[in-house]
Amino acid sequence: MLKKIFSGVQPTGNLHLGNYLGAIKNFVELNNNKENKCIFCVVDLHAITVKQNPNDLRDNIRETVATFVASGIDPKKSIIFNQSRVSAHSEAAWILSCTAKTGWLSRMTQFKEKAGKDKEKASVGLYSYPVLMAADILLYDSTHVPVGDDQKQHLELCRDIALKFNNDFGVDDFFKLPEPLIQKEFSRIMSLKDGKKKMSKSDLSDFSRINLTDSKDQIVNKIKKAKTDTLPMPSNKNELDNRDEVKNLIGIYTILTNSSLEKVLNDFSGKNFSEFKENLSQALVDKIYPISNEIKRLLSEKDFLDNILDDGYNRANEIASKKIKKIHEIVGF
């Protein structure tokens, strides 16, 4: 059965290991499956929920596309485009915001996390962006959406909005109810300095993350300095309890090497962290360094990246414009 898959990445610039292992690596696998029809969106409208430098934003859009392609996504097989060029996204978001309920949005935990203590100063866009996310997904009749634990709530909201719209206007199955593609264990990559915090470009310390553009020496040095503890490597899952930093590093290694947690624990049981870190560093260099070189090469070819975005826009807009036209007819425009 053909799966129509939609997912997006914000063009924040300086993408890191958390972005790659948490999303992009999975995108590549989905892209390579012949039974999948994938749309990968650079969600620049979502990015402006916080203040952006316009020139940096334009560069970051290209960098995100370069990262997709360098990682192995084929822009001829999958659609790659930036959200703001397809006006149906903004239009559908407004219409769906008139369907969604404020009570639903007020329960979104990510808004509370991103807005921080002073919610009164957060933008309306930050509050309502889950509705835009729903519009992104529903415009393409997506059947499946890759989600991590922190995004399940947003997909549930998307399904609620779709169902209410269908019921309100008496159009059964007009909006498809997308199913989650649950990410694998350890898909949420944490800081190298604090295993309780998600890896983030906003962290003041560059040693908290592996950037996808890091050199070999930078990768090795960051892993050497990554926080662990004084105990030896664990031998079973129970020994990972309350060892967040250790669990994070082992999780990174299992994903990079396509190994099971049990195998990794068995291979390194009781050994010193220095030996494990050497193996982790090599795995990272083998996987990330070629991507880093390819990103840098592609960024020097702006016309090539812009052509990918132009082609993606044409293909995405053809689909979305038909859907928004039908939405107009249903609503009464």
Element (H, E) at 317: helix 302-331
Query: What is the residue extent of each domain of the chain?
Result: 3-188+302-331, 206-297
The distance in angstroms from the start CA to the end CA of the chain is 35
Structure confidence by residue, pLDDT tens digits, 156-181: 999 999 999 999 999 999 999 999 98
> Does the pLDDT of residue 184 top 70, yes or no?
no
Q: Are 210 and 284 in contact (CB under 8 A)?
A: yes
CATH code: domain 206-297 is 1.10.240.10
Relative to beta strand 144-147, strand 79-82 is: unpaired
Spatial distance between the Cα atoms of 152 and 196, rounded to a whole number of angstroms? 19
Among 84-93, 138-147, 229-238, the minimum mean pLDDT is found in: 229-238
> Does the pLDDT of residue 186 top 60, yes or no?
no
Q: Considering the chain, what percentage of its residues have pLDDT values greater than 70?
A: 95
Spatial distance between the Cα atoms of 175 and 142, rounded to a whole number of angstroms? 9
- What average pLDDT does range 275-291 have in this prediction? 94
Q: What pTM was estimated for this model as a whole?
A: 0.90
Element (H, E) at 103: helix 102-106
Position 107 scores a pLDDT of 83
Between 270 and 295, the more confident residue is 295
> Could you list the active site residues?
114, 198, 201
Write the class of the CATH domain 3-188+302-331. alpha beta
> Does the pLDDT of residue 109 top 80, yes or no?
no
